[in-house]
Amino acid sequence: MTKEAARPATTEPILLTDALGSFDALWSPRIMARVNDYDVRVAKVHGEHVWHVHENTDEFFLVVDGALDIDLRDGTTGQDERTVTLARGAVFVVPRSTWHRPRSADSASLLLFEPSGTSTVGDAHDPVPDHVDATTGHALTR
């Protein structure tokens, strides 16, 4: 299959609210569109994801609704941790090779940019809990 054949249909505008309203699964992103070789994904989250790392790519987060905490670990020692808190409308980029764990005490909705084919659990990760979908994204159904 060519990349063009796998490209989601984007011949009409897509409202974020419609995209987010089209599914209920948590930690299971949907691909809204592709920009060059990047997926534009939306996700609903609640609770904790899994500690993971993307060795060769940054990860872009925009909080559409709710709030998101992202725990970060120092990439060189793996010991020093800090947390960034993203309110509605906040943007944050997790740099490549940074171990991180997104989490939300309440429900949140996210917009993500990642290279197409990027796994939601990265290149390396802790054991994946049942509530986390290890995927490269699902097609958005409207």
Is 4 within a domain? Answer: no
Residue 139 lies in a domain: no
pLDDT in tens, the chain (142 residues): 344 434 555 678 999 999 999 999 999 999 999 999 999 999 999 999 999 999 999 999 999 999 999 999 976 555 688 999 999 999 999 999 999 999 999 999 999 999 999 999 999 999 999 999 999 999 998 6
Full DSSP string of 49-117: ---EE-SS--EEEEEEES-EEEEEE-TTTS--EEEEEE-TT-EEEEPTT-EEEEEEEEEEEEEEEEETT
Q: What is the spatial distance between Cα 92 and Cα 21, in angstroms, rounded to a whole number?
A: 24
20 found inside a domain: yes
pTM over 0.95: no
Counted domains in the chain: 1
CA distance 31 to 65: 18
Containing structural domain, residue 58: 15-134
Q: CATH code at 43? A: 2.60.120.10
Tell me if 10 is assigned to some domain.
Answer: no
